[in-house]
Structure 1
């Protein structure tokens, strides 16, 4: 990938299209949760561009349906997508194990198989440690941790050997952020759960890895970019001195799903501009 960051505006996101191609992925089937917007929508569009059929799921069914239609329309007009996949929208409450199984069944009914499962849905609450309520800690663990576990369980029941699961962790799994105690705890749990899943699901020939993003240009980090002081502090903590783009998270995720990573499992790949080293 070529880095087109603006040297006059070092905070600028590089959203150039990733050109990495994995021809073996065409015709395969992926499930992506939290796919209505942000990184989930970028993952869904990127996979479909490369010929993967995708069931995108979100708790906001209407927004998911609109996103699926938008992606399918764009694919029909995209000259780079030789044989694009198809995106089908679905609803899911990731805190409910039954919803994950229903999602798996929907993918099987629509496309006949499941090769990839991306546990992307998550929430990003704020509260100082003394103010974390029982409701907040329960909610963040339900969505960010149980949602990953239930998704992996559903995927494992229906994947053939060679399948791959990618979970969304965060650099917050290894760094403390003031006011994000509940969130950091949940992402540390995701990182460890990924290792546990990799050990046990390896018996079935299923690989499990995680992506650990840093500051990425999504609605979840919009508050940073809208606050000049917060943005300056964030960029000081990033050796590349800019915010990342969803496309730059998609590239490593695509690698983890591909045959190029067929001997890679149980790892969390940081996509953070080097911030975990500062």
Structure 2
């Protein structure tokens, strides 16, 4: 998809965000699940604005390749600030010790952690009678425990004024057939975000979450390739289009910036209004 507006049903706006927060240059972010998709977009967008990024993913080879690709693109671009470095690292979000190691990597490389983005997640499908013990355990382990372990590792090393952003979903408040494990895990993330905000507020750390709806990623590719499914999906979106990763990144950028310095404990929907339908 190009950076121009696509036409027809489900069009997606991929224009780059022009928002710029100069106070973010030189700061350090940790992002989980950063080898592809939304996590890779977050890493690229922050590094473009001068933020150093420690990017973690279970797929070590993919994470290294993505970091190399993004770094090469940054070196070739003309950006306002000196671009940040992107440092790849291996991470299994279900292991608390891996989060601690990721945090130590950030401290060793850059001496600080200002932002932590708990982005890693899985999106399983099964009708309720078919949800297995293994599926629900894996989903809660990755999507919920991964957020808690990340927040714990971050908070132990963050200064007042730092920020944590978790990835929830509009599915936290809207049921989707076949997604019982996923929806319940994201509802837990939204509520965990509130608990973290209350407790970590004592340290001056803000905690918020982002709740995307239909976004142009691999997770929604099947909808865009199925005309009846796309028509049904768009009927439940007041803006009548699919969102882009760039539009999710814009919200992340705001939540990490000083413009949101008195915002904590919120789950900010990026869903074209679908949660209201």
Provide the rounded CA distance (Å) in 2 between the counterparts of 1:275 and 1:26.
34
Q: Is the 8 A contact 1:167 1:194 kept in 2?
A: yes
> Could you tell me how far 1:5 is from its partner in structure 2?
4.0
TM-score, with normalisation over the residues of structure 2? 0.97
What aligned pairs does 1:158-197 form with structure 2 within 5 A after superposition? 158-197=157-196
CA RMSD across the alignment: 1.1
What aligned pairs does 1:88-103 form with structure 2 within 5 A after superposition? 88-103=87-102
Residue 84 of structure 1 corresponds to: 83
Q: Is the 8 A contact 2:25 2:81 kept in 1?
A: no
Residue 113 of structure 1 corresponds to: 112
**Could you list the per-position Cα deviations for residues 175-231 of structure 1 after superposition, in whole angstroms to 9, with x for gaps in the alignment?**
000000110000000000000000000000000000000001111111111221111
> Could you tell me how far 1:42 is from its partner in structure 2?
0.3
> Could you tell me how far 1:81 is from its partner in structure 2?
4.3
Residue 212 of structure 1 corresponds to: 211
User: SS of the counterpart of 2:56?
Assistant: strand
User: SS of the counterpart of 2:148?
Assistant: helix
Q: Is the 8 A contact 1:169 1:268 kept in 2?
A: yes
Residue 50 of structure 1 corresponds to: 49
User: SS of the counterpart of 2:129?
Assistant: helix
Provide the rounded CA distance (Å) in 2 between the counterparts of 1:113 and 1:123.
29
Provide the rounded CA distance (Å) in 1 between the counterparts of 2:80 and 2:272.
29
Provide the rounded CA distance (Å) in 2 between the counterparts of 1:81 and 1:220.
33
What aligned pairs does 1:127-276 form with structure 2 within 5 A after superposition? 127-276=126-275
TM-score, with normalisation over the residues of structure 1? 0.97
Q: Is the 8 A contact 2:161 2:204 kept in 1?
A: yes
User: SS of the counterpart of 2:156?
Assistant: helix
Q: Is the 8 A contact 1:75 1:81 kept in 2?
A: no
Residue 41 of structure 1 corresponds to: 40
Task: Spell out structure 1 runs of 4+ moving beyond 2 A.
Answer: 3-6
**Could you list the per-position Cα deviations for residues 12-53 of structure 1 after superposition, in whole angstroms to 9, with x for gaps in the alignment?**
211110010000000000000000000000000000000000
Provide the rounded CA distance (Å) in 2 between the counterparts of 1:80 and 1:11.
31
Which segments of 5 or more consecutive residues in structure 2 lack a partner in the other structure?
none
